[in-house]
């Protein structure tokens, strides 16, 4: 007749018509009520695990999260060193860098950041994929290993050495010898273009020119990272099963068709994940290298080489330092939006996401 | 039909080999260039005459100068110190943290993961980071030297403790620990092993490839670190704790025309070509440790760099 659906937790007393709670439900409620106690117990039992976390959390709080606290200086007036004693300025610093006295400098730095990052992605991203596809063609393990040892190597050379060698190879005739030549690559470019500009008339070298700086920066960046970044793609390429190739060959697919219909679809998820990672780091361009190639505003390439972080680093006048902090904060927030956005788009479009 | 396939394959193969060999040569060329310049004649170095082989009147004076240059070796030993102690310190907190994060039973695991991964998305920036290091230096000076001037402490320790953090490395370690089968851990636990024993006896030996790779990453970033060491030691005016990269850059800036700040009156070495040759010798000496270690750990890369799982 009358049967409650919930009668696994309620019991009806036939005599009085009253409902009482079942024993099982009482136990369940009790457990629910005491959940905090068991939680506490688990934490107590696993205290060693939490103890293991302590050093890492301490390091990250002290040297990653406390600097974020320093960002409050972006909302205060003036000299950052005594920021906590300075009055609040609201959005004054942001107003100044977006529309006010420092707008020209900030937007130039921001544009430079974006251009360098964008070209770096455009030309730098396909390179490791191409390398990985080509590595797959080298069937001899020894030959491939030798080539791989060579192409991974630049990743491990320090920025100081990379920039010094870049300056040397792209140098102009700055050494004052009687019949001095320009740097090796400058000579080569001069011979190709046949232009006199590269034959010694240029004292400071190609790195310090506004025309060539971006190209040199991106080429040396590819030189540094392409080989090493190909590891991930190569792992994806060799994971393609040989039977897929055979099937494609039987269907009459040439090499290009095999690439198009077999290899590319199989490595697509890796490509998307790496792309998200690259876009996430887009606006945090390597300030170390840029600083070494353009340490101050007196250099000829400053117009194109100063990015937001090096611009902020160069603001030593107490009245403008808060501008630098505000500018970097803007830059890094946009960077964060880029990584979260690209991740969301990738998840929607192809079910591949990083985070 | 069959013939056509073979031709396209052959062309592709030729292009691949050609491209790879050219790229591999380009990758090692600048290093060979530095090596040749180190032994080339001073005038040849000054006049940019080296293309590949040592040119001009060959010499080993540049190498001798570097070998007998005390401040270079002081900075070299600073870098060795920072690399060894810094790598060990980073590995200790990273392995402990990654082990705890790899456990499903850890309450608040997602929160801790987010805490870590957030630093990969957002960084405070160069100026706030520098302020933070200065504040750290002042606190360390208060504790260890009883003053508020960070120049009073040996800044090597600040570099060791506060720099070289890398969340990606911790994620790599965590993923590797997650891949260890839980049955082994349970077996060890039944045998009465403590948490630390399980980590030392089970997890670390089973994740050797990842740990080797991560140690290499930490070590290389320590060995190559320039910017923050330069900023921090520069702010304190402390040149005795310079790492070799900072010393090298300083030498190149003062004595050679490469960075465009050359002034013949302030240079320490009279002949520009000699100074440049010495700079190349320093470059070569500073690369040696990396070139020695690199081939041994290179084989672990493919295994250790499993980026597929940065997911929380």
Highest mean pLDDT among A187-191, A237-241, A329-333, B264-268: A329-333
A141 and A215 housed in the same domain: yes
Whether residue B46 is contained in a domain is answered as no
A11 CB-near residues (< 8 Å, 6+ apart): A19, A20, A21, A22
A13 and A108 housed in the same domain: no
Whether residue B24 is contained in a domain is answered as no
Q: Which of B33, B220, B305 sits opposite A165 (nearest CB)?
A: B33
Whether residue A72 is contained in a domain is answered as no
pLDDT attached to residue B309? 43
A38-52, A308-322, B92-106, range with the lowest pLDDT: A38-52
Whether residue A21 is contained in a domain is answered as yes
The answer to whether the CB atoms of B47 and A299 lie below 8 A apart is no
Q: Whole domain around residue A166: which residue ranges?
A: 101-170+205-350
The number of folded domains in chain B is: 1
Does the structure show a pLDDT above 90 at A64?
yes
Whether residue B10 is contained in a domain is answered as no
Does the structure show a pLDDT above 60 at B307?
no
pLDDT attached to residue A351? 67
pLDDT attached to residue A179? 67
**Full-model pTM:** 0.86
Q: Which of A147, A159, A181 sits opposite B47 (nearest CB)?
A: A181
> For a pLDDT cut of 90, what percent of chain A falls above it?
27
| Cα–Cα dist B244/A1, whole Å | 89
Does the structure show a pLDDT above 70 at B26?
yes
Q: For residue B199, with 0-12 CB atoms within 10 Å meaning exposed, 13-18 middle and 19 or more buried, which class applies?
A: buried
Whether residue A191 is contained in a domain is answered as no
Over residues A87-96, the pLDDT tens digits come to: 777 788 888 8
Does the structure show a pLDDT above 70 at A199?
no
The secondary structure of chain A, three-state, reads CCCCCCCCCEEECCCCCCEEECHHHHHHHHHHHCHHHHHHHHHHHCHHHHHHHHHHHHHHHHHHHHHHHHHHHHHECCCHHHHHHCCECCCHHHHHHHHCCCHHHHHHHHHHHHHHHHHHHHHHCHHHHHHHHHHCCCCCHHHHHHHHHHHHHHHHCCHHHHHHHHHHHCCCCCCCCCCCCCCHHHHHHHHHHCCHHHCCCCCCCHHHCCCCHHHHHHHHHHHHHHHHHHHHHHHHHHCCCHHHHHHHHHCCCCHHHHHHHHHHHHHHHHHHHHHHHHHHCCCCCCHHHHHHHCCCCCCCCHHHHCCHHHHHHHCCCCCCHHHHHHHHHHHHHHHHHHHHHHHHHHHHHHCCCCC
Does the structure show a pLDDT above 90 at A300?
no
Please report residues of A whose CB lies closer than 8 A to that of B298.
148-149, 152
In angstroms, what separates the C-alpha of B119 from chain A's closest C-alpha?
7
The answer to whether the CB atoms of A292 and B249 lie below 8 A apart is yes
Over residues A109-134, the pLDDT tens digits come to: 999 999 999 999 999 999 999 999 99
Over residues B108-130, the pLDDT tens digits come to: 888 999 999 888 888 888 989 99
A151 and A11 housed in the same domain: no
Whether residue A3 is contained in a domain is answered as yes
A143 and A270 housed in the same domain: yes
pLDDT attached to residue B83? 95
Over residues B88-109, the pLDDT tens digits come to: 999 999 999 999 999 888 888 8
Does the structure show a pLDDT above 50 at B311?
no
Q: Whole domain around residue B229: which residue ranges?
A: 69-309
Whether residue A67 is contained in a domain is answered as no
A22 and A105 housed in the same domain: no
**Which residues 231-260 of B are in CB contact (within 8 Å) with A?**
245, 248-249, 252, 257-260
Tokens, residue A61: 């709080």
B61 in contact with A, Cβ within 8 Å: no
Over residues A206-261, the pLDDT tens digits come to: 888 888 899 999 999 999 999 988 988 888 888 888 888 888 888 877 777 888 88
| Cα–Cα dist A60/B129, whole Å | 12
Please report residues of B whose CB lies closer than 8 A to that of A149.
295, 298
∠ at Cα B72 (B66, B220), nearest 5°?
Answer: 110
How many Cβ pairs within 8 Å bridge chains A and B? Answer: 296
Interface confidence, given as ipTM, is 0.91
Whether residue A75 is contained in a domain is answered as no
pLDDT attached to residue B1? 45
Span A274-301, mean pLDDT?
Answer: 84
**Please, what is the average pLDDT of chain A?**
82
Whether residue B43 is contained in a domain is answered as no
Q: Find which of A41, A45, A46, A56 to mutate to test the B interface (most B CBs within 10 Å of its CB).
A: A56
**Closest to A98 (Cα-Cα) out of A113, A84, A86, A110:** A110
Span A13-42, mean pLDDT?
Answer: 72
The number of folded domains in chain A is: 2
Highest mean pLDDT among A70-74, B212-216, B263-267: B212-216
In the structure, what pLDDT confidence band is assigned to residue A352 with cuts at 50, 70 and 90? low
| Cα–Cα dist A216/A219, whole Å | 5
The answer to whether the CB atoms of B46 and A180 lie below 8 A apart is yes
Whether residue B40 is contained in a domain is answered as no
Over residues B231-277, the pLDDT tens digits come to: 999 988 888 999 999 999 999 998 888 887 777 777 788 888 889 99
Q: What is the domain-level CATH number for residue B118?
A: 1.10.3720.10
Q: Which residues pair with A21 in a beta bridge?
A: A10
pLDDT attached to residue A67? 92
In the structure, what pLDDT confidence band is assigned to residue B228 with cuts at 50, 70 and 90? very high
């Amino acid at each position: 007749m009358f049967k409650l659906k919930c009668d696994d937790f309620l019991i009806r007393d036939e005599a009085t018509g009253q409902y009482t709670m079942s024993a099982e439900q009482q136990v369940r409620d009790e457990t629910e009520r005491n959940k905090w106690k068991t939680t506490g117990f688990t934490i107590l039992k696993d205290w060693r695990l939490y103890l293991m976390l302590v050093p890492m959390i301490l390091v990250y709080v002290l040297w990653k999260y406390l600097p974020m606290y320093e960002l409050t200086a972006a909302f205060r007036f003036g000299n950052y060193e005594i920021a906590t004693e300075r009055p609040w300025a609201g959005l004054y610093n942001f107003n100044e860098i977006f529309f006010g006295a420092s707008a020209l400098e900030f937007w130039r730095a921001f544009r430079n950041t974006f251009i360098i990052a964008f070209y770096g992605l455009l030309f730098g991203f396909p390179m490791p994929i191409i390398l990985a596809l080509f590595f797959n063609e080298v069937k001899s393990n020894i030959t491939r290993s030798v080539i791989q040892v060579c192409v991974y190597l630049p990743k491990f050379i320090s920025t100081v050495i990379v920039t010094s060698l870049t300056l040397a190879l792209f140098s102009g005739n700055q050494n004052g010898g009687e019949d001095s030549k320009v740097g090796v690559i400058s000579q080569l470019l001069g011979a190709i273009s046949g232009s006199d500009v590269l034959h010694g008339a240029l004292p400071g070298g190609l790195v310090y020119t506004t025309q060539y700086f971006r190209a040199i920066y991106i080429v040396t960046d590819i030189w540094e990272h392409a080989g090493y970044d190909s590891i991930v793609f190569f792992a994806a390429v060799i994971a393609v099963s040989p039977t897929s190739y055979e099937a494609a060959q039987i269907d009459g697919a040439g090499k290009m068709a095999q690439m198009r219909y077999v290899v590319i679809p199989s490595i697509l998820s890796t490509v998307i994940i790496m792309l998200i990672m690259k876009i996430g780091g887009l606006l945090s361009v390597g300030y170390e290298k840029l600083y070494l190639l353009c340490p101050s505003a007196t250099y000829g390439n400053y117009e194109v080489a100063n990015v937001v972080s090096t611009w902020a680093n160069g603001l030593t006048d107490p009245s403008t330092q808060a501008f630098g902090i505000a500018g970097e904060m803007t830059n890094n927030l946009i960077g964060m939006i880029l990584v979260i956005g690209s991740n969301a788009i990738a998840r929607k479009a192809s079910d591949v996401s990083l985070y | 039909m069959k013939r056509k396939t073979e031709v396209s394959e052959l062309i592709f193969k030729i292009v691949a080999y050609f491209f790879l060999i050219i790229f591999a040569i380009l990758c090692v060329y600048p290093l060979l260039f530095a090596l040749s310049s180190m032994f080339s004649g001073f005038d040849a170095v000054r006049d940019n005459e080296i293309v590949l082989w040592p040119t001009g009147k060959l010499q080993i004076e540049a190498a001798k100068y570097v070998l007998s240059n005390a401040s270079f070796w002081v900075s070299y030993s600073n870098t060795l110190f920072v690399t060894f102690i810094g790598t060990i310190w980073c590995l200790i907190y990273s392995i402990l943290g990654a082990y705890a994060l790899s456990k499903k039973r850890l309450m608040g695991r997602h929160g801790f993961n987010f805490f870590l991964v957030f630093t990969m998305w957002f960084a405070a920036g160069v100026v706030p980071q520098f302020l933070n290091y200065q504040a750290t230096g002042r606190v360390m000076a208060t504790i260890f030297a009883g003053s508020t001037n960070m120049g009073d402490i040996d800044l090597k320790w600040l570099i060791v403790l506060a720099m070289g953090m890398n969340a990606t490395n911790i994620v790599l370690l965590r993923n590797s620990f997650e891949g260890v089968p839980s049955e082994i851990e349970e077996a060890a636990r039944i045998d009465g092993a403590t948490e630390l024993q399980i980590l030392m006896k089970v997890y670390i030996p089973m994740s050797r490839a990842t740990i080797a790779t991560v140690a290499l990453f930490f070590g290389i970033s320590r060995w190559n670190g320039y910017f923050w060491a330069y900023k921090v030691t520069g702010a304190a005016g402390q040149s005795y704790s310079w790492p070799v990269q900072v010393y090298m850059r300083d030498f190149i800036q003062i004595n050679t025309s490469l960075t465009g700040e050359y002034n013949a009156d302030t240079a320490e070495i009279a002949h520009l070509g000699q100074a440049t040759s010495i700079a190349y010798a320093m470059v070569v000496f500073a690369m040696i440790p990396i070139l020695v270690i690199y081939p041994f750990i290179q084989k672990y890369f493919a295994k250790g760099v499993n980026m597929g799982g940065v997911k929380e």
